[in-house]
Chains A and B, each alone.
Chain A
Amino acid sequence: MLFFKSYLLPRIIQYLVVIFIGTTVVFVVPRFMPTDPVQKTLELVALQGTYIDPEAVEKLRETLKELYGLKGTLFEQYIVFWKRLFRGDFGPSFAQFPTPVMDLIKISLPWTTVLLLFTTLLSWIIGNILGGLAGYFSHQRWARVLEGIAMVIRPVPYYIVALGLLIIFAFAFPIFPVGGGLSVGRELHLTFDLFVDIAKHAFLPALSLVLVGSSVWFMTMRLLISNILREDYVLYAQTGGISDREIVFQYAIRNALLPQITGLALSLGQIFSGALITEQVFAYPGLGTLLYNSVSRGDYNLLMGITLLSIIGIATGVLIIDLIYPLFDPRIRYR
């Protein structure tokens, strides 16, 4: 019971607060902006040159207001907004009218989810193991080299890394395809070839995410380990003649992993943003490309749908990590 009250309850409250704040920001901000989306859309329609009589314009205005959820007072709008959110209804897409936004998202979501899950886990594992080793053997030459590489890659944003990889591996040395998720014209039959094709297209986006991701984990892990090495139990293990290998993996990395798990939860939002950008560079058919298209076509509903869904997705991811955290930390389990 104490476990529930002191551990689970704050986590669940946090989960609800994240979704509440995120949704409220998404609701409030566009309504305080100087530009009126309805007016803007009407202007766009007017720009197309065809004559529309004033009555039709009024009708269009009403429909648009309905679509944007701009009817009634601010409070009423807010209630409607939440109701629609609970139904999973983000309205129709403007660019591909009348396909519901949800349908478009459903097509792209698996691509992003698979890429993101794979690269996040891989870079977390690579970064932590290499960081742990480099932190423990910090006087060795290879540890310094690794640190230098990570230090150069870590601060560079995903976009630049992705663009760099694209320049090197798709233009200068055309080993990998320039973009896309599949070869053009390929049909979705479950064969080995299809798998190879998908993997080949996903390789560069995944590489850029893993490169940046693992350098981030590498740097924090190295710092954590260098602090743990000063702990008494490590000194005791060393004087007791336990092998370096065992100390690194059983003593140092294991203890340093706990803050790293929390770090993983806290940085999910960043990782997700990075994935969106990477997808756009490589024209990978996931949420990022969908987001980019919705921006360039002014598809406001789709944009809002992706934003809300990503907020909920990230918050849920963080909650899941928090919920399995006690499995790794016995201090919480047995309290």
Chain B
Amino acid sequence: MLSTIRDLLKYDKRFTFGFSVMSLMIFLAILSYFSPYDPKVWNIVPRDMPPSLKHLLGTTSMGQDVFWLATFAIRNSLFLSLIAVFISRIIAIFLGLITGYKGGALDRTLMTINDSFVILPLLPILILIASVIKGSLNIRNLGILLGIFGWAWDARVLRSQILSLREREFTYTARLSGMRTLSIILKEYLPFIMPLIMATAMNNMLWVIGMEVTLAILGLSSLEIPTLGTMIHWSVNSQSLLLGIWWWILTPVFICILLFISLYMLSVSISEFLDPRTRLQRIEVMKG
């Protein structure tokens, strides 16, 4: 695992980019623990100040420091996505392994249900649910909600990987030497699909953060908790663009874009690393 990361850092620029941006984000998130201001209190600093040495990224119309608010927003958004990713990974891995390995009628049934979840327009459903439980939609509950709905596509991806692993020779060797199904899956397959799980997890994180932004903009999450979404919500709602307070709205938007691109690049470079065909192609490019 560590050597994989080292190789990727060395040879893949996209991975280097994604890795350094993510490290920066995590650093900022940790920095929020040392913030001089409470993110929930308004009017502790002068309002609508442009970026200066005292307030690195200016202040908002509610009298909050944009830089320190952003550190809280990053922390909460990352935390939220980790909860959701963790839950959806459990469901996706379980379903993917079971359907891929067992096959037959069970596979067909579960995959029909799975495909239905892939096709379903999740946004209206999430909006419906969120508007019903609006009051209790804190970071944890939103994470659980997004986790419950975000597994379908990844279960499909994992299943197809298991399908191809099942036909490999080591599966027969393991089975003939009397290994049980569960230990074949855990000991033989899991190491193989670990990077794929990582890649899908990055993609899922991206989806979760994007979904949080979307729901917050519609005013459906707890708006007093600073996240990237609620930051955008408040700045859009206070007409920061029309008033020319660009530092307020551009900060969360830029952080979002950076975060999305870096997560995507991490995911792409990990999954390309897995695919021997694309790896060969890249080596050819590097040679030629």
Contact = CB atoms under 8 A, between A and B. Distances in A.
Interface in B214-262: 214, 217-220, 232, 236, 241-242, 253, 256-257, 260-261
Interface string A144-175: 00000001101111011001100100010000
A18 B241 contact: no
A327 interface: no
B106 interface: no
Given A171-B241, A303-B127, A160 B116 contact: no
B259 to A, nearest CB: 9
B263 A314 contact: no
Interface string B189-225: 0000000000000000010001001100111100000
A156 B121 contact: no
Nearest to B109: A17
Query: What bracket does the count of chain A residues touching chain B fall in?
Result: 35 or more
A152 B261 contact: yes
B5 interface: no
B27 to A, nearest CB: 21
A30 B128 contact: yes
Given A157-B213, A227-B277, A303-B131, A296 B219 contact: yes
Contact of A30 (B115, B129, B219, B277): B129
A314 B217 CA distance: 24
Contacts of A157: 210, 213-214, 256, 260
A35 B127 contact: no
B117 to A, nearest CB: 7
A307 B128 contact: yes
A306 B133 contact: no
B24 interface: no
B253 A163 contact: yes
B219 to A, nearest CB: 7
Among A13, A156, A265, which residue has the most Cβ atoms of chain B within 10 A? A156
A34 B116 contact: no
A211 interface: no
B124 interface: yes
Interface string B245-288: 00000000100110011011100100000000110010001000
B120 interface: yes
Contact of B133 (A26, A34, A315): A34
A44 to B, nearest CB: 13
A269 interface: yes
Given A17-B112, A273-B124, A276-B123, A29 B257 contact: no
B118 interface: yes
Determine which residue in B119, B122, B277, B278 has the highest number of CB atoms from chain A within 10 A of its CB, and name it: B119
Interface in A131-148: 139
Interface string A286-314: 00000110011010100110110011001
Contacts of A326: none
B132 interface: yes
A188 interface: no
A268 interface: yes
A22 B123 contact: no
A37 interface: yes
Contacts, number: 144
Interface in A180-237: 223, 226-227, 230
B124 to A, nearest CB: 4
A191 to B, nearest CB: 33
A112 to B, nearest CB: 12
Contacts of B20: none
Contact of B119 (A160, A266, A277, A307): A266
A273 to B, nearest CB: 3
Interface string B96-127: 00000000000000001101111111111101
Contact of B123 (A14, A21, A35, A277): A277
B124 A276 contact: yes
A22 B256 contact: no
B131 A156 contact: no
B277 A35 contact: no
B136 interface: yes
A128 interface: no
A280 B120 contact: no
A108 to B, nearest CB: 13
A248 interface: no
B124 A155 contact: no
A247 interface: no
Contacts of B232: 163
24 contacts: A14-B116, A17-B113, A21-B117, A22-B125, A25-B120, A29-B125, A33-B133, A35-B133, A37-B132, A154-B264, A155-B261, A156-B260, A157-B210, A230-B277, A266-B115, A269-B120, A277-B123, A296-B218, A296-B219, A303-B127, A304-B128, A307-B121, A311-B125, A314-B119
Interface of A: 10, 13-14, 17-18, 21-22, 25-26, 29-30, 33-35, 37, 139, 151-152, 154-157, 159-160, 163-164, 167, 171, 223, 226-227, 230, 265-266, 268-270, 272-273, 276-277, 280, 291-292, 295-296, 298, 300, 303-304, 306-307, 310-311, 314-315, 318
Given A291-B124, A307-B121, A314-B121, 5 more contacts: A33-B133, A34-B133, A151-B268, A298-B131, A304-B128
Interface of B: 14, 112-113, 115-125, 127-129, 131-133, 135-136, 206, 210, 213-214, 217-220, 232, 236, 241-242, 253, 256-257, 260-261, 263-265, 268, 277-278, 281, 285
